[in-house]
Every structure is written in structure tokens, then in C-alpha cells.
Structure 1
């Protein structure tokens, strides 16, 4: 089991990153709530991870702190929720916000997320109601901050922030036509793809 990775951030293409540790490059998918906290490319980062093995793939998911990872693990235990949908849920709201939804049985907030219909939302609220009390701890810890070991950045690729944002949001389950219109409406000159994604996700809530 790969539980934590510490290494140099080589690439950032939301929602995926490439981290090099001990000469090995790890492709890791992160929820956007964790992605926002990443240091710059070329700097050292730490992510908590969850390793998923399927017949057709081996996938590594990363998180800003252990609370987010714990929630991800609870989500994928729920009936009808796989890693991709769990990643989408944690991209649309933080662990603290999700726990708040469960505590207040807020179906409306959950159904705004792609892939979460009313039945799925209701099932999540029922199944997780008694399992999330341990997640009310502080989730502000941020091991993803730069560790003051910058190296020369030779990895940056100049992508169009709008196109990158659209690709990331489609990967998270949003419909291309809907998300493309929203991205173009919200984009302002000088915004990064992360800025665009953050604003789009906020507008969906």
C-alpha cells in the first residue's frame, strides 16, 4: 500500500499531477480541493495517497490531508460510489462541507454535483450519517505547501487555461457543452486554469 509520497512536483494538469520520488514518477489524481493547495512545479510536495487496483488499471489518488483521504475511503465504501465519483464529490466541496451536508441531511447541495442524483445523495446521507464523526477534526493541515527546496523549473508547458479547465472539469464528470459555456463566461484575462476551475465549481453550488 502506498500511503504517502514526498517528492518533486514535475507536472500539474488538473486533476492529475506527476510527482517524482526517488527516481520514480507517480501519476496521481487529486480532488480540486487538494489541487488548489499544491506548491509550484519544481518544488517539493507531500501528498497522502490511496492506491486502487482494478483489472484494467492501477490508480493512485492523492489528498491534502488525512481527513480528506479518510472521507474518500468512506465514500468509496458507499453503495454505487466509485473512486471517480468520490473524486468529483471532493472536488465540488471540501471534507468539512461534505460532513456538514451529512449532518444537516442536505440533499440539495449534493445533487448539484455531476453524477450525484437524488437517490445517490439520499443513500450517501443515510449510509454515512453515523460514520463521519471522526472527520470533524481540523482539515486545515497542509503538507502540500512548498518545502523550500525549489529546483530549476524545466517542466512547465504553456497550455490554454480555458482548455485545461474544461478538460479537467469534463474528467470530473461535468458535461462538455455546459461546462464550456460556463468557463468562457467566467474566464478573465490572466486567470490560471486553477482559478477558472475554482470559480466554475463555486458557481455550481
Structure 2
């Protein structure tokens, strides 16, 4: 297994990046390729997971080992493949996903692309209590701050649903999602207005 790749960030696409190492360009599928937008032409380290099947050989990349660890746990859940796991990580930060699993928040989990009630229940059944790398981080957060974060999560999630209802595709939404997540805590309407500004530019 390729644990990580250190090389020059050559370019990014809506669902992958290309890193050049030793004269070879590695295509690496990522949850949010646009987080590397400011690193094009610079050296960087990407933590990877190599997915091998009879008909496919693919690399998946992450900013840190913990994010990769969560991805590997997600693909062990029945009904979630690599693309589905990437979509979950792209739509919500790892700590948000873990909190939803630990609190058995099916409603939050079903907001992720491709996750219905059955898959959300399976995620909780398979993963609750097994995400120790993230649960300690969640416990360290002040309770009032955690409530504010949950409110912002709901606002962003509702805004994404509204954008989908307006006819925007997953690739378009994924492109602006990192910028929306970087915003201060906004209301649903404010997230929608900001997203539309980014999409129309």
C-alpha cells in the first residue's frame, strides 16, 4: 500500500488532483480537491489509500492520516463505496460525521449524497464507538461552542439542499463548498446567497 506521496502539486480538477513525484504524475481522488488550490506548483504531502479491484486500481488522497482512517472505516460499511465515502467527507468535516454517528443523528447523516435511512442506520450500527481518534476531540469541545457548530452545520446542510433543488449539480456545489465552510457561522439564507455569488462568478 502507498502510505503517502510527496511531490509537486501539478493541477486540480473537480474530483481529483495530480501530484508529480519522480517524473510520474499520480492521479489522486480527493474529497475536496480545491483545498489544494493555493498549493499548485508547490511540494506537498498527500496521505493515500490504494483501492484495488479486478477492474480498477485507484488512489484516494487525504490531508492527514485521521481523515484517511475515517474514509477506510466508511468503506467498510455495507452500502458505502469509495465514491460514497469521498462524498461524505466532502460534504461534512470528519468531526461532524463522527459526532453524528456517536449521537445517532440519522437526520444529519441522510443529508450526505447517497446516504438514505437504511445506510445511515448501518453507519451507526457499524461505526459507533469505533471512531476513537475523533471522539476524544469531540469531548474536548465546550458544550456551548458545540451547539453553535451544530447550528452552522444545519444551516450549510440546508443551503446545499436548496442549491440542489435549484438545479445545481454535485460537482458545482463541491467546487464552492470549501469556501462556504471557511465562512463564519451563517444562516441558511446567507449561505445560499454566498454560494450563488460564487457559482455565478
Cα distance in 2 between the residues matched to 1:61 and 1:182: 17
1:23-57 Cα deviation digits (max 9, x unpaired): 1110001112x742554211111110000012222
Secondary structure of 1:79's aligned partner: coil
TM-score, normalising length: structure 2: 0.70
Number of residue pairs matched by the alignment: 161
Structure number having the greater helix percentage: 2
> 1:149-194: CA deviations, max 9, x gaps?
xxxxxxxxxxxxxxxxxxxx9xxxx9797324996xx9xxxxxx84
Corresponding residue number in structure 1 for 2:10:
10
Superposition map of 1:46-125 within 5 A: 46-125=45-124
Shift of 1:198: 3.2
Change (3 A) 1:35 1:68: farther
Measured in 1, the distance between the counterparts of 2:43 and 2:135 equals: 28
Whole-angstrom distance in 2 between the partners of 1:197 and 1:93: 10
Indicate how the Cα distance of structure 1 residues 199 and 46 shifts in structure 2: closer, same or farther if over 3 A, else same.
closer
Distance in 1, matches of 2:126 and 2:170, equals: 35
What RMSD in Å do the two structures reach over aligned CA positions? Answer: 3.2
- For residues 46-78 of structure 1, the C-alpha deviation after alignment (integer angstroms, 9 at most, x for no partner) is 110000012222110000101100000101111
* Structure 1 stretches lacking a partner, 5+ long: 140-168, 187-192
- Higher RCO (C-alpha 8 Å, min separation 6): 1
Does the aligned pair in 2 maintain the 1:70–1:135 contact within 8 Å?
A: no
TM-score by length of 1: 0.68
